[in-house]
Amino acid sequence: MFRSIQTLILVAGIVLLSACSLPAVQDDADRAPAQGPFQVPWLSVTAEQAITLDSAYRQQRTAVLKALDGRAPEGFKAGLTSTAGQQRFNVREPVAGVLWPEAGIVFDGDKAVIQRSDFRKPMLELELAFRINTLIPEPLADVSEVQFVVSEVMPALEIPDLGFDSEVGMTGEAIVAANVGARAYLLGQGLSPGDVDINAVRAHLSHDGKRVLRGEATQVMGNQWKALFWLINTLVEQGWVIQPGQVLLTGAMGEMLPLEAGLYEAHFSELGRLRLQVN
């Protein structure tokens, strides 16, 4: 069934791309992509600027496309995937954002190194990441199709950078308009989704040798495949065409912690470990 759906998706995608191209080039198909290192914009909004989720997503898309200036996103992310997070910011569903170009941090098997001074209000989350293997220009029909569009699953540490000076006005809508704090992330080695029970993954995080966080895959909407299905369809409904090779982060396994200087070590059951040195 999925092969026929995938064929229709690919055909629809070709038609769609010929009509309106990718988000990165919709405004001017003849414009050359921007060159040089990508500068992540600082998006900070207030509740008054983002009254509804629909308006917030429109603001997000406008700001992101302007900042991308011809580049394609490196991927996409979900946020507020727990009931507690949604209640805290008064929304009834998770939220989605765009991963900036060059947002991925290299992990060489030893440790990745970053400078805390490169961020304003950095946080840290245990997550799972999924690499997409096909063009997705239309919503998927059923959650059972999700496993067919994923080439690998990876352990991840996301480093959101919150675009708010205080929590005043920090509503779910404002978080969406500010691109859900997307900034950087660290990926580990990937496995085929058929080689791991994704919903059985458990993780723990230590900081300078002291355990600070535990997380489970099912803390994300109760089911990682359900979370991925929601994220894909939400992105497509917002006008994005998901590309092969892009990375999707499904949301925090456990709490979001403030990023501090020191050595973080994350262990993800059968998915291995990540080490991040924050100077």
Q: Is pLDDT at 12 greater than 60 in this prediction?
A: no
Q: Is pLDDT at 212 greater than 70 in this prediction?
A: yes
Per-residue confidence (pLDDT) for residue 108, from 0 to 100: 84
Q: Is pLDDT at 20 greater than 60 in this prediction?
A: no
Q: Is 97 inside any structural domain?
A: yes
Q: Is 33 inside any structural domain?
A: no
Domain count, the chain: 1
Residue 190 or residue 169, greater confidence = 190
Q: Is 31 inside any structural domain?
A: no
Per-residue confidence (pLDDT) for residue 14, from 0 to 100: 34
Q: Is 37 inside any structural domain?
A: no
Q: Is 130 inside any structural domain?
A: yes
Per-residue confidence (pLDDT) for residue 22, from 0 to 100: 32
Q: How confident is the model at residue 88 (pLDDT cuts 50, 70, 90)?
A: confident
Cβ neighbourhood burial of 109 (10 Å; 0-12, 13-18, 19+) = exposed
Are 72 and 241 in contact, with CB atoms under 8 Å apart? Answer: no
Its pTM stands at 0.84
Q: How confident is the model at residue 214 (pLDDT cuts 50, 70, 90)?
A: very high
> What's the domain range around 172?
2-26+42-278
Closest CA to 225 of 253, 199, 248, 188: 199
pLDDT in tens, 30-68: 344 445 677 777 776 655 566 788 988 998 999 999 999
The radius of gyration of the chain from alpha carbons, rounded to an integer in Å, stands at: 18
Q: Give the domain CATH number at 237.
A: 3.90.850.10
Closest CA to 81 of 221, 270, 232, 263: 221
Q: Is pLDDT at 96 greater than 80 in this prediction?
A: yes
Q: Is 36 inside any structural domain?
A: no
Q: Is pLDDT at 190 greater than 80 in this prediction?
A: yes
